[in-house]
Amino acid sequence: MSSKNSTPRPPRFADWLLESLCSYDYLSTALWDLEELFEYHVKTKGVIRAKWLYLKESLSIIYHLYFKGQSQFALNPIAMFKNNLTIALRNFNKHRSYVLLNVIGLAFGLTVFLLITRYTSYEFSYDTHHENADRIYRVYKELHGLEEQWFDAGTPGPLAKTLLNEFPEVEHAARFSSYGKQLMLANNKSFVEPVIHAVDPSVFEIFSLEILHGDPIQALNYGPNIAISESVAMKYFGHSDVVNEIISYRNQIPLTISAVYKDMPVNSDFIMDLIVNFEWTNNAFEQDLTNWNNNPFYTYILLKEGSSAIKLEAKLPEIRAKYANDPIDEDGQSTTYYLQPLTDVHFASHINWGMEDAVDASRLNVFNVIALIVLMMAGINYVNLATARAMVRVKETGIRKIMGARRPNLLSQFLIESGLLVFGSLVTALMLAHTILPIFAHFVDRPLAFDFINPIFWLQLGLLGLVITFASGLYPAFFMSSFNPLYAISNRGKFKYKSLLRNGLVILQFGLSAILILSAIVLQRQMSFIDTVDTGYTRDQVVILSTRDDAFDDKLSTYMEEIGNVRGVEAVATSWSLPTNVTSNTQANWPGIDDAQRIQMYMVGVTHDFFKLYEIEIKEGRAFDQEIKTDQSAIILNEAAVKAFGWDNPIGREMIRQNGETGTVIGVVKDFHIKSLKEEIQPLQIVLNPNYATLAVRVSGDLNTTMASIEKVYDSFEPSYPFEYRFFEDIYARAYAEDTRTGQLTLAFSFLAIVIACLGLYGLASHKVALRIKELGVRKVMGASSLNIAQLLFKDFLVLVTFAFMFAGPIAYFIISSWLENYAYHIDLTPIPFVATFLILILFAGTTVGYHTYKASVSNPVHSLKDE
Amino acid sequence: MKKLSLGAFEELVLLTVGVLEDNAYGVTIKMELESQLQKTVSLGALYGALQRLEEKGWVDSRVGGITEKKGGRRKQYFDITKEGVAALQEVRSMRNELFDRIPASKINWLNS
């Protein structure tokens, strides 16, 4: 509208609808009435309401026209549509193999697309269900070391309240801490809970938790109360209305149920099933809630509507400077706080110590790209097959044109055909994907399902179908409707058509296949490298035992001793963490050190048999010795540390330990991987210290009997938790599970991609042979051998595949080598995978084309030449 | 005369066309019906009824008020035909006859 004073106009959309759907007579009458009503409504009810009523009336007119038996006034397109549909179906019936080829290819592509996008959109849906999701932020911190900085989700106790008091734009702030694997007693049954969350009651204001019974905010204010999820209530009591029932925490502390809330959706970064009051539990556990340098808590804030997170983030260093007396700052470390939108938390894999494992978003994007590629390849098939077949349909098109069909008629005819094909493929794909989904969901370890009840799902599906129809059908439609009818129906229909585009598309298809295959091969090799690489420690027969039970608090050494006596146990030891993932760090320090040498180093406390258990090799000096009392303060370094310090003779040198005491270096171990293989081996110091332990045993002989004996020992300590253990091998494999999964998925997808490409090639080859059948016949008659013919046909495809490989090779090289860079320890990129890929392409393409080539080369020229 | 089949809504539309005399077209019929029925009548439903009435020969339509405006929209006037009036009359007399057969006690019941 040009100005506010111009007369209001009825909605154009309604007019457009009427014009395109009603016959002329009907339309003009209706428009008169509609307009008069509109003018009247503008005066009596205002412009907006008038427009709305206009639209409503228009729709009612169309509805009555089409569904209430006045269809003689409906416009032609519908009738034309029916006609076109019939023609399309007849056409399909005549060319069944062509249709099948297309539907299979498209259905495969769509199946892959549906599966992958279900997976990725599930991942991207994390935490979006919270009503205020766009205003909720997690506070995380950056620590600046001397050389590096790292991110950490842990925040100090006083942070939340300070933010709330200092900044008016913060509406609510809440702290979280969690206690894993706790024993709860309810209804005289005991349950081991994987996680219990201690929170500030304002959590209920920040997150959308639907309360079923009770009042959490009131009740969680202070004291021994607990809020539980519906499923926990059902598990404990068999019904959900359990407010005021009692649950015992660790069998000792009675907690009153104050509220029952609806289960949080599974696509949440953290799922709270049992919630207790933060202040109360932390006071009970004597946690220091005022210390700015103790960071075991998570802080989430809700911003007021319209306030800027970026502006707030800029002000966060102020409060750190104001409140925290930063003793670490003197050592050159400092902390900066940042805000992270709730919906990004799931992808924050660069931030350590989150509540749940984060996922690498770029990996999901890689999957999305693969899904698009596979879909695109299926679409290319359609374009190729359709344009190739255009030659066959030249006559049909020509006659239609001469009979008076105009370009738009033909266009819609061809688009309806592709639409039908897409529809058929979509239905097939949906059934296929629905069948495969459970397997796929199990594989990616996510509870995936298609939301068949959701209208948006169908809307998206319809939209996808439309997009594919137009993307793949538009060019063939234009191409096929462009023929000059005179040429088309004359028997000399030998006008030139360019196969450049088609060949280009085939090259693109095979190029993309090549990239996928190459990536899959290298991924597989890297993964098997990880499996077999010498990490410097053994994982075989190593079992990690659970020791979280209170029963072992002060009896751990007795327990270890008794396990050590079990037959089949080779070694027993504890360490602060598994050798795969050493997390404690400190700064290297020794008498007379200069500041430049103060590097970050990792640290792990172990018991004597640690080296024996994990078969870690001592390079120099010796391991800890039970007999030598002074070993309590001894230090063992790894080679990386010695190298970093620049020491020539490490044995016997003094170092200052974290607690300030001095210790002597008694040995150097051969470097073993203390982190993921993605990282370089860092300097490490190993000391004797049995606290905060991971208990491991290495067993020999029959695993079952040995574990049964260990369980007997365990039970003799009368623990409240059941006996639990895990294999180190499994833990190790899990650390690389995501990468392994990517490798396997890429392999599967690249296989599918090449199958789709071959389907297209098959169709093209059959077409090409059909077009040249006479030429080949003549050649044969003139004395060409079957081999000559085969060579002739084969050459074309060899050229295509070679071109494809030539453009794909460098791209694949770039992608793969940058992926390998992620790993500090990786395989070298040799020519072998490239050669293998090329051979695979030739093999697939050759087999596909070969069938037609063979048929053409052995056929009797009499048959191909007789009908002229 | 063909067999009478006059729906309740059609009957109302036919009556309204008769009432409005020379000024019966979409908008006026709709407005009149709405004020009588105290509820919204959609143009779509109205057109449907008018069309069925025209097919049965109970209304005639004529065109008027063609304008130069876009699309050359025109006003379509409806007039009740002789047969239309006859149909209304027949319906009415049938109703009256039935009404008269309602026992007096039931009628008095209303006034009590």
The alpha-carbon gap from B103 to the nearest alpha carbon of chain A, in Å, equals 40
Sequence-distant (≥ 6) Cβ neighbours of residue A712 within 8 angstroms: none
Among residues A725, A717, A689, which one has the least CA distance to residue A552? A717
Is B76's CB within 8 Å of A29's CB? yes
Instruction: Using the predicted structure, report yes or no on whether residue A854 has a pLDDT greater than 80.
Output: no
Q: What angle do CA A620, A626, A632 make, to 5 degrees?
A: 80
**Between chains, do B26 and A31 touch, taking CB under 8 Å as contact?**
no
Instruction: Give the pairing type, strands A253-261 and A225-229.
Output: parallel
How near does any CA of chain A get to the CA of B102, in Å? Answer: 36
Between CA A597 and CA A587 the distance in angstroms is 9
SS3 readout for A638-698:
EHHHHHHHCCCCCCCCEEECCCCCEEEEEEEECCCCCCCCCCCCCCEEEEECCCCCEEEEE
Using alpha carbons only, give the angle B86, B91, B94 rounded to the nearest 5 degrees.
120
Straight-line distance from the first to the last Cα atom of chain A, in angstroms, rounded to the nearest whole number: 67
For the record, the structure tokens of A192 come out as: 């081991």
A71 touches chain B (CB under 8 A): no
How far is residue A244 CA from its own chain's centroid?
41
Are A29 and B73 a contacting pair at CB < 8 A?
A: yes
- Pick the more confident residue, A701 or A265: A265
The nearest CA of chain A is from the CA of B39 a distance in Å of 15
Q: Which residue of A has its CA nearest to B46?
A: A61
Contact criterion met (CB < 8 Å) for B43 and A27: no
**Least confident piece of the model among A62-71, A514-523, A657-666, B93-102:** A62-71
pLDDT in tens, A660-699: 788 899 999 999 888 877 778 888 999 888 876 788 999 9
Average pLDDT rounded to a whole number, residues A392-421: 78
Q: What's the one-letter identity of residue B103?
A: P
User: Beta-strand (E) ranges in chain B?
Assistant: 59-64, 75-80
Please, what is the Cα angle at A730 between A729 and A733, to 5 degrees? Answer: 90
Of A28, A37, A64, the CB nearest to B45: A64
Q: Half-sphere exposure of A393 toward its Cβ, with a 13 Å CA cutoff?
A: 24
Handedness of CA A827, A832, A838, A843 (dihedral sign): negative
Which of A71-75, A538-542, A629-633, A832-836 shows the lowest per-residue confidence on average (mean pLDDT)? Answer: A71-75
Alpha carbon of A64: minimum distance to chain B alpha carbons (Å): 5
Q: Which of A154, A502, A118 is nearest to A353 (CA)?
A: A154
User: What is the DSSP pairing of strand B75-80 with strand A694-699?
Assistant: unpaired
Residues of B with Cβ-Cβ distance to A30 under 8 angstroms? 26, 43, 47
Tell which of B13, B73, B75, B77 to mutate to test the A interface (max A CBs under 10 Å).
B73
Give CA–CA dist A135/A146, Å, rounded. 34
User: Among all residues of chain A, which has the CA nearest to that of B63?
Assistant: A29
Residues of A in contact with B25 (CB under 8 A): 32-33
User: Using CA atoms, how far apart are residues A855 and A343, in angstroms rounded to an integer?
Assistant: 58
**Mean pLDDT of the B58-76 span:** 71
Å between B91 CA and nearest CA of chain A: 25
- Identify the closest residue of chain B to A71 by CA–CA distance: B48
Determine, for residues A37 and B30 on separate chains, whether the beta-carbon distance falls below 8 Å: yes
Dump pLDDT digits (tens) for A288-337. Answer: 777 777 777 889 999 988 888 888 888 887 777 777 765 444 444 467 88
Spatial CB neighbours of A65, under 8 Å, sequence gap ≥ 6: A21, A22, A26, A71, A73, A74, B44, B47
Quick one: closest CA in A to B26, which residue?
A33
Q: What is the mean pLDDT of residues B28-46?
A: 87
**Which of the two residues, A835 and A718, has the higher pLDDT score?**
A835
Q: A56 and B76 in contact by Cβ < 8 A?
A: no
What is the pLDDT at residue A549?
A: 64
Q: In this model, does residue A799 exceed pLDDT 90?
A: no
Which stretch of A148-152, A244-248, A600-604, A788-792 has the lowest confidence by average pLDDT? A148-152
Mean pLDDT on A269-283: 83
The whole-angstrom distance between A75's CA and the closest CA on chain B is 16
CA distances from A591 to A192, A255, A636, A660, A664 (A): 49, 53, 17, 11, 12
Q: Which of B27, B44, B71 sits opposite A61 (nearest CB)?
A: B44
Q: Does B65 touch chain A (CB under 8 A)?
A: yes
Residue of B nearest to A63 (CA): B44
Say yes or no for a CB contact (<8 Å) between A61 and B75. no
Instruction: Give the tens place of pLDDT for each residue, A592-608.
Output: 777 766 777 888 889 88
For A338-374, what is each residue's pLDDT tens digit? 888 888 888 887 777 777 777 778 788 888 888 888 8
* Residues in chain A closer than 8 A to B75 (CB atoms): 29, 32
- Considering only CB atoms, A60 lies closest to which of B25, B45, B73, namely B45
Residue A566 has φ and ψ, to the nearest 5°, of: -65, 140
Average pLDDT over residues B15-31: 87
Q: Is the distance from CB of A842 to CB of A801 less than 8 angstroms?
A: yes
pLDDT band at B1 (very low <50, low <70, confident <90, very high): very low
Does B103 contact A at CB distance below 8 Å? Answer: no
| Integer Cα distance of A402 and A30 in angstroms | 37
Q: Is the pLDDT of residue A434 over 80?
A: yes
Phi and psi at residue A862, to the nearest 5°: -55, -40
> Which candidate in B30, B31, B43 is best for mutational testing of the A interface (most A CBs within 10 A)?
B43
With H, G, I as helix, E, B as strand and everything else as coil, classify residue A258: strand
Cα angle A146, A349, A682; round to 5: 40
Looking at residue A637, what is its pLDDT?
92
**Alpha-carbon distance B100 to nearest alpha carbon in chain A (angstroms):** 36
User: Which of A60, A71, A73 best probes binding to B when mutated, by most B CB atoms within 10 angstroms?
Assistant: A60
Interface-testing mutation among B10, B20, B23, B27, with chain A (most A C-beta atoms within 10 A) = B27
Q: Largest alpha-carbon pair distance within chain A?
A: 108
The pLDDT, as a whole number, for residue B67 is 59
3 state SS for A253-281 = EEEEEEEEECCCCCCCCCCCCEEEEHHHH
Question: Per DSSP, what are the bridge partners of residue A275?
Answer: A197, A227
Question: Within the 175-214 window of chain A, which residues sit less than 8 Å (CB to CB) from chain B?
Answer: none
Share of chain A above pLDDT 90, in %: 6
Per-residue pLDDT, averaged over A746-754, amounts to 81
Q: What is the pLDDT of residues A216-260, one digit of tens each?
A: 777 677 778 888 999 999 888 888 888 888 888 876 788 888 889
CA-based nearest distance B8→chain A, Å: 17
Nearest to A37 by CA among A70, A66, A14: A14
Q: Which residues of A touch B76 (CB under 8 A)?
A: 29, 32
Positive or negative, the CA dihedral A419, A423, A426, A432 is negative
How far does the CA of residue B98 sit from the closest CA of chain A (Å)?
Answer: 32
Q: Summarize pLDDT for A541-591 with one digit per residue, the tens.
A: 899 887 766 667 678 888 888 888 888 888 999 888 888 888 777 778 888
Distances (CA, A) of A105 to A101, A359, A424, A429: 6, 32, 11, 10
Mean per-residue pLDDT, A772-781: 78
How much is the pLDDT for A145? 56
| Closest in A32, A56, A65 to B74, CB measured | A32
pTM over 0.80: no
Give the residue carrying structure tokens 């190029």.
A511
At residue A487 the predicted structure's pLDDT band, cuts being 50, 70 and 90, is: low
Q: For B48, which of A27, A36, A70 is closest by C-beta distance?
A: A70
CA distance B44 to chain A (A): 4
Q: How confident is the model at residue A437 (pLDDT cuts 50, 70, 90)?
A: very high
Average pLDDT of span A505-533: 84
Q: Does B73 touch chain A (CB under 8 A)?
A: yes
**Is B9 touching A (CB cutoff 8 A)?**
no
CA distance A300 to A341: 10
Short-list A297, A338, A358, A348, CA closest to A137: A338
CB contact under 8 A, B27 and A65: no
The answer to whether residues A665 and A621 touch, using CB atoms and an 8 Å cutoff, is yes
Non-local (6+) Cβ contacts of B81 within 8 A are: B57, B58, B59, B60
CB contact under 8 A, A64 and B48: yes
The values of phi and psi at residue A260, to 5°, are: -125, 130
Query: What are the E-state strand segments in A343-400?
Result: 351-352
Residue whose pair of structure tokens reads 């016949």 in the numeric block: A777
In SS3 terms, A590-620 reads as CCCCCHHHCCEEEEEEECCCHHHHHCCCEEE
Is the CB of B51 less than 8 angstroms away from the CB of A70? yes
Which of B47, B63, B66, B74 should one mutate to test binding to chain A, selecting the residue with the greatest count of A CBs within 10 A?
B47
The residue of chain B with its CA nearest to that of A61 is B44
Q: pLDDT tens digit string along A17-69?
A: 777 777 666 777 788 888 888 888 888 888 888 888 888 888 888 887 776 65
The tens digit of pLDDT for each residue in A164-191 reads 888 888 999 998 887 767 788 888 888 8
- Check CB contact of B74 with chain A, cutoff 8 Å: yes
Distance CA A44, CA A27 (A): 25
Select from A33, A63, A64 the Cβ nearest to the Cβ of B26. A33
Cβ distance B44 to A40 less than 8 Å, yes or no, reads no
Q: How far apart are CA B61 and CA B47, in angstroms?
A: 12
Instruction: Considering only CA atoms, give the Rg of chain B.
Output: 17
Q: Is B26 on the interface with A (CB under 8 A)?
A: yes
The answer to whether A57 contacts B43, with C-beta atoms less than 8 Å apart, is yes
Chain B contact present for A571, CB below 8 A:
no
Q: What is the ipTM of this complex?
A: 0.83
Query: What pLDDT is stored for residue A548 in this prediction?
Result: 63
Helix and strand tally (H, E) in chain A? 26, 23
Work out the mean pLDDT of chain A and round it to a whole number.
81
Pair of tokens at residue A734: 């899990």
